[in-house]
Structure 1
Amino acid sequence: MSLLAVLLAAVGAADLVRLKPAQLARNLDLTRAAAVGGAVAAVVAAALGYGWHVVWLVPVVAAVVVAWSVRDQPSWGWALPVAGVLALLAGQQVPRGRPPIAGWYSSLEIGTLSGVPIPEAALALAVAMFLVQSANVVVRRVLTDVGPGVIEEEQQLRGGRVLGPIERLAIFALALGGNVAAISAIIAAKGILRFPEISRDAASGLKAEYVLVGSFVSWGLALVFVPLF
């Protein structure tokens, strides 16, 4: 769990600071992603109690971040899932000491964190970082694969890039709390919000396809991590 938190935090942070290709050359952009990912991995690993024996983790995570950032390659999407599974499997085998933030964490007077172990809290925060921007990348890639006409609807329904992260974070938080009713309310509200655009859809049905595919992929990403807690 702790290694997965390191990985997701690094990927999420790299995507949050990633510049558009038009603003920065690709090789420099990948260097920036590797630097940010490696730095975040080092900080999170140290905070969770990993010592110098896992210094290898920094270049490994940086390499995964770079592989994830090369989005024009057909196989780019496999880098993170494979690395995530390996992180979960190896997590119990890599020794970890007492986290240096343990004293600070135990002093926090937040009721919802009472009894929550540091690795679990760190993973929740890392997942939240991933759901903000990295999940948008996944949704957009799926929409692109569905068809060029579908992704073109993004230019008309731009609110999805803002609403998507908000929805995912809300659904993830509510799912952790077991509030299924509130999740249903969010999904219903999304349908009501998008109904005017869908009702004016052309015969091709591209707007409806964009909303439905994008929404289901986005919600799936918010829920896929919940069984880990």
Structure 2
Amino acid sequence: MSALALLLVAVGLTDLVAARDGSRPTIGRLAGTLVGLTSIAALALLADLDGWGDVALLGVVGVTTGAWAVLVDRAERSDSAQGLALAALAAGVGVTVLFSGWASNVAGPLARWLDWSGITALGAIDPTRAVLLLGLFLTQLSTGNAVVRLVLARTGALDPRGGPQAADRLRGGRLLGPMERVFILGLGLAGQVTAASVVIAAKGLIRWPELQRASRDSERREQAASDGTAAPIDQVTEYFLIGSFVSWLVALAALAVAHLA
């Protein structure tokens, strides 16, 4: 699973760096791509992933990371490529999982550092699993947000070209989403699945007053929407439900990978 771990780390870093430069998305995406590709080479060297199978899978990881960055940038600037971006990421993950037998386990300086660090949790864990968990954590941040936005745009709940958005009436999603996913992943890894379900329920409670207020104002909002100045309540509800379920699926998928790997 070392190839999958590197893919998740690279994609997570790519999106994390890209998200930091919101005023210049193209430059941010380029910088993120460079960081992601550099992380692949650096981790491969530090982990002694130099077998022929490793090299082949590292090529897949690099191509997937680059394709993801390009297609996400294209999708965010137009009303296309959302499905292609998601398919590229899914294909890359699928290939690295299907051919994971070709990949070597993480060793070399990285494994020795984990053992030397003196941190009991790091020393006791398998190095490959440690890198995988790092990748799963990173993908809960900006990558999770990117996946949610792509699905929302694909379903029509979000317009990537701008204009009045349902998101304008539900603030804080880009911050609450990563926090929620990290909580679900962390609690799930700790065996506290019930506590993770409480986090999911809490989001509904937090958003309920906003949805209720929007419902009371629906007639006025829908009238304004006809003038192109606001999104009607049905769009807000759709945005909330689709965004929430996709966000939860991202966290649960990461949790499943962590348990199966």
Q: Is TM > 0.5 for Structure 1 vs Structure 2?
A: yes
Q: Residue in 1 aligned with 2:229? A: none
Matches within 5 A, 1:45-60: 45-51=44-50, 53=52, 54-55=54-55, 60=60
Matched AA of 2:35: V
CA contact (8 A) 2:115 2:122 kept: no
CA distance in 1, matches of 2:247, 2:33: 26
Among 139, 145, 152, the alignment partner of 1:143 is: 152
Q: Residue in 2 aligned with 1:130? A: 139
Matched, 1:182 2:195: yes
Matched AA of 1:223: L
Q: Residue in 2 aligned with 1:13? A: 13
CA distance in 2, matches of 1:36, 1:186: 32
Among 158, 173, 186, the alignment partner of 1:173 is: 186
Q: CA deviation at 1:219?
A: 1.0
Q: Residue in 2 aligned with 1:41? A: 40
Matches within 5 A, 1:185-224: 185-202=198-215, 203=218, 204-224=233-253
Deviations 1:51-90 (A, max 9, x none): 2754565554332222112233242211111111111122
Matched AA of 2:46: A
Matched AA of 2:174: R
Farther-moved stretch of structure 1 (85-94 vs 202-211): 202-211
CA contact (8 A) 2:184 2:252 kept: yes
CA contact (8 A) 1:18 1:29 kept: yes
CA contact (8 A) 1:33 1:66 kept: no
Larger helix proportion, structure 1 or 2? 2
Matched AA of 1:207: V
Evaluate the alpha carbon distance shift between residue 150 and residue 57 of structure 1 in structure 2; reply closer, same or farther with a 3 A threshold: closer
Matched AA of 1:209: E
Q: CA deviation at 1:123?
A: 0.4
The alignment of Structure 1 onto Structure 2 pairs a total of residues equal to: 227
Evaluate the alpha carbon distance shift between residue 112 and residue 227 of structure 1 in structure 2; reply closer, same or farther with a 3 A threshold: same
Matched AA of 1:17: V
Matched AA of 1:6: L
CA distance in 1, matches of 2:106, 2:174: 40
CA contact (8 A) 2:157 2:238 kept: no
Matched AA of 1:205: D
Percent of residue pairs identical: 34
Higher Rg of the two aligned structures: 2
